[in-house]
Structure 1
Amino acid sequence: MLKSKPFLYVSVSLIVIAMIMSVPFRLHSPYGPERTTVLSIPITTVEGPVYVGMITVSILLLGLVFLVLALKKYKVRAVILAVLLFAFGPLKFAEAYQSTFATGLDAISFDKENSTCIYEAKDERTMTARCELYLKNHSKEDVSFKLTFYEEEWFEGPQYMNNAGPFKLTVPANNENPIIVKRELKLEKEQTFSGSNSHFNVILETKGKQRIL
C-alpha cells in the first residue's frame, strides 16, 4: 500500500500547512467579496487576485501530488479523503473556535443570505431604508463596533446606506435576533429608488481591527 514514507510525510505536512492557512478564510473574507474560489478558498475577489489563497491551494495540490506518489494502492480514496478533510476540517475548527473561545469582533458571524435592506422612495430626493441584519454574537459579552456596507457597482443600496453611516451597533451576548437599522436618507441628486438588497457584505471595525463578512 505504501510506496514511499518520505513522500507521505511531505504530503501530510503540506496538507496540514494548507489547512492552517485556510482557517482565516473560514471566519471572514479578509480580501473582500469572493469571485473565484477553490474548495471555499478565494482565488480572486472584487479587489483582485488573492495571492494567499492561491498559495494555499497550490500547497494543497502539491500535497495531494506527494500523497499519490507515496501510495501504491487506494490513491483515489486517499485523495478524496484528504480533500474532504481540507474542506471541512478548518471550517469545523473555525466554527468551534468562534462558538467557544472567540471574543470581541471574532465572535460575530453574519448571515448574509437572510439579511435584507428595503428602500422606499418618499419624494425625489428622500427615501427611507430599513435593514434587517442577522449578526450573531457567539460570546458571553456584548460586542460593539462600527458597521459599513461593502460597496459594489451592481448594488445601489450599500452606497446610499454608507452616506448615512458608519453605524454604531451593539450585538448582545448570544444574540440570534436581527439587528434593525432604519434611516431616512437625504440625497443630493434625484437618485431615489424603491426595492431591496440581499446577499450583501458588511464591514465591521473596532479598535483598529476590521472584518469583512
Structure 2
Amino acid sequence: MIKNKASVLTAMAIFLICMVLYFPFPENKLSEARTSFMSFPITDNDGFVTLGIVGSVLYVSAIVFLVRGLKKYRIRLVILSMFAYALAPTAAIWLYQLTLASGVYALSYDDRSECTFESEGDGHIYATCDLEWKNHSRDDVSFTLEFLDSPYDKQFPPEEFLKGSYPVTVEAKGSQTVQIEDEIERPDLKGEFNGAASGFLRIKVTDGDSERRF
C-alpha cells in the first residue's frame, strides 16, 4: 500500500504544519476571511492573506506527497486524509474543552446568534441580542462582552449601536441563550431609522487576563 515511506511521512508533517498555522482555537481566524480554502483565509477586508496562501500551497503539496508515497488505494486514502484533516481540530478542541479547559476557554459560541434593533423613528433605539453559548466546564463562567467590527453588516453594524461592555454569566455544563438588552440614544438617526436585525456577530469576551474573540 505504501510505495515511498519518506513521501508519506513528509505529507503527514506538512499536514501538521498546515493545521498549526490556522488552528481554530482560542480564536478562529477564518471568521474574518472573505474567501478561504480548507482552513486557510485567502482574502479578508485588507486584501490577500499571505500566510493563508502559503498554507494553501503547503496543503496542496502535502496531497501531492501523499499520492506519490502511496502504491494502492490512492483516491480513498487521500479523501480519508482530507476528512481527517478537516475533523481533527474540532475533535481536539472538543476533547480539550471537555477535560482541561476552564473559564472563557471552555466556551463555545453559536454563530446563529442575532441582534435586533427597534425604534419609532424618534432617535431612541431599543436593542436586544440573543447569544447562544455552550459551557463545557463544571463551573459557571463569568466575563465581560464587547461587540467587534463586523465585515458582514455594513448598513447597520451592531458595534455601531452597542459600544459598551456587558457582564455575562454562562451556567456550568450546558447550552444557554444569553440575552443582552440596551437602550441607545441616537438623535442623528431621528426619522431615518425604524429597525434592523444583524446576524454573524463578532464579539470579544474578557475575564481578567484571559481573552477570546468569536
Question: TM-score by structure 2 length?
Answer: 0.85
Q: Quote how far apart the aligned CAs of 1:37 are.
A: 1.8
Q: Quote how far apart the aligned CAs of 1:73 are.
A: 2.8
Question: In structure 1, the residue corresponding to 2:144 is in which secondary structure?
Answer: strand
Q: In the alignment, which residue of structure 2 is the partner of 1:158?
A: 158
Is 1:128 paired with 2:132? Answer: no
Is 1:64 paired with 2:63? Answer: yes
Question: In structure 2, the residue corresponding to 1:16 is in which secondary structure?
Answer: helix
Q: Deviations over 1:132-153 (max 9, x none)?
A: 1112221122222221222235
Which amino acid in structure 1 is aligned with residue 78 of structure 2? V
Show structure 2 runs of 5+ residues with no match.
none
1:31 and 1:47 in contact (8 A); partners too: no
Which amino acid in structure 2 is aligned with residue 138 of structure 1? H
Provide the identity percentage. 28
How does 1:97-112 map onto structure 2 within 5 Å?
A: 97-112=96-111
Instruction: Identify which range, 61-70 or 166-175, moves more after superposition.
Output: 166-175
Is 1:168 paired with 2:167? Answer: yes
Which amino acid in structure 2 is aligned with residue 25 of structure 1? P
Q: Deviations over 1:64-106 (max 9, x none)?
A: 1111111233222221111111011221111221232211111
1:122 and 1:128 in contact (8 A); partners too: no
Which amino acid in structure 2 is aligned with residue 200 of structure 1? L
Q: In the alignment, which residue of structure 2 is the partner of 1:199?
A: 200
2:30 and 2:39 in contact (8 A); partners too: no
Distance 2:94 2:42 in 1: 22
Question: In structure 2, the residue corresponding to 1:81 is in which secondary structure?
Answer: helix
Distance 2:31 2:155 in 1: 15
2:115 to 114, 117, 133: 117
Q: Quote how far apart the aligned CAs of 1:122 are.
A: 3.6
* Distance change in 2, residues 1:18/1:40 (3 Å): closer
How does 1:33-112 map onto structure 2 within 5 Å?
A: 33-112=32-111
Which amino acid in structure 2 is aligned with residue 15 of structure 1? F
Q: Quote how far apart the aligned CAs of 1:188 are.
A: 4.3
Which amino acid in structure 2 is aligned with residue 12 of structure 1? M
User: For the aligned residues, what is the CA RMSD?
Assistant: 2.4
Q: Deviations over 1:160-208 (max 9, x none)?
A: 3333x12122222224121111111111412633121222222223334
Q: Deviations over 1:103-122 (max 9, x none)?
A: 11111111121x12111104
1:26 and 1:91 in contact (8 A); partners too: no
Question: TM-score by structure 1 length?
Answer: 0.85
Count of residue correspondences: 210
Q: Quote how far apart the aligned CAs of 1:31 are.
A: 6.7
2:142 and 2:170 in contact (8 A); partners too: yes
Q: In the alignment, which residue of structure 2 is the partner of 1:148?
A: 146
Q: Deviations over 1:18-37 (max 9, x none)?
A: 23444x32653247522112
